[in-house]
Structure 1
């Protein structure tokens, strides 16, 4: 046949997923550009604040995620039911996961509580008065 329909469905599925990912990750830029919601200066301020905010996830949460992904891959066997795993390993994994969730929650709450109060100061240090004043011009 000219077209392998199994591969065509798989390709269509990948296309839909990549389109949805693009809309979810870059959707705010499309809205700002096409609907002219913000001026170019305000868009610049938004991009800087967005990039500074994502640095927290890159520098704090990403190493935690990578390290514990390796830990859980070593402790638990993928594709096996919890009941068929070693109970000692399941107990260790559950305790570590509980402590990890508490740690990430505390870090996130600290960022949420102090982030709003000190964001103006961080922008002032990073970009000067023009950036922190909101104009971005």
Structure 2
């Protein structure tokens, strides 16, 4: 399926997806065309699903990063899911999980006041436990 060079390519791209094929090739000891060919193969085989960026939310004014364990006692989750769809300014990811809770919600907020209002609105649809990120 994939060899050690492919694994190195994936490792390097996961650190910096903006590497040129020349720079990536230097890191994995291949020519740029050989590296590009391998990357295309990884994409075609569905191993690489896409490239993304990491946004500095603090510089955008979102200084609070929170994870919420969501607990829904009812079997119908649609009211919660509909609410979450309206909160795209704050919701980063909404993972359906097993274990503790029904969902793990990752959010960003510009202030404690906005977080508090979000939690009040959320509580109409689900119970939750909040964890605030204090460092990475």
TM-score bracket, normalised by the shorter chain, equals under 0.3
Higher strand fraction (1 or 2) = 2
Larger relative contact order (CA 8 Å, sep ≥ 6): 1
Of Structure 1 and Structure 2, the greater helix share is in: 1
Q: Which of structures 1 and 2 has the bigger CA Rg?
A: 1
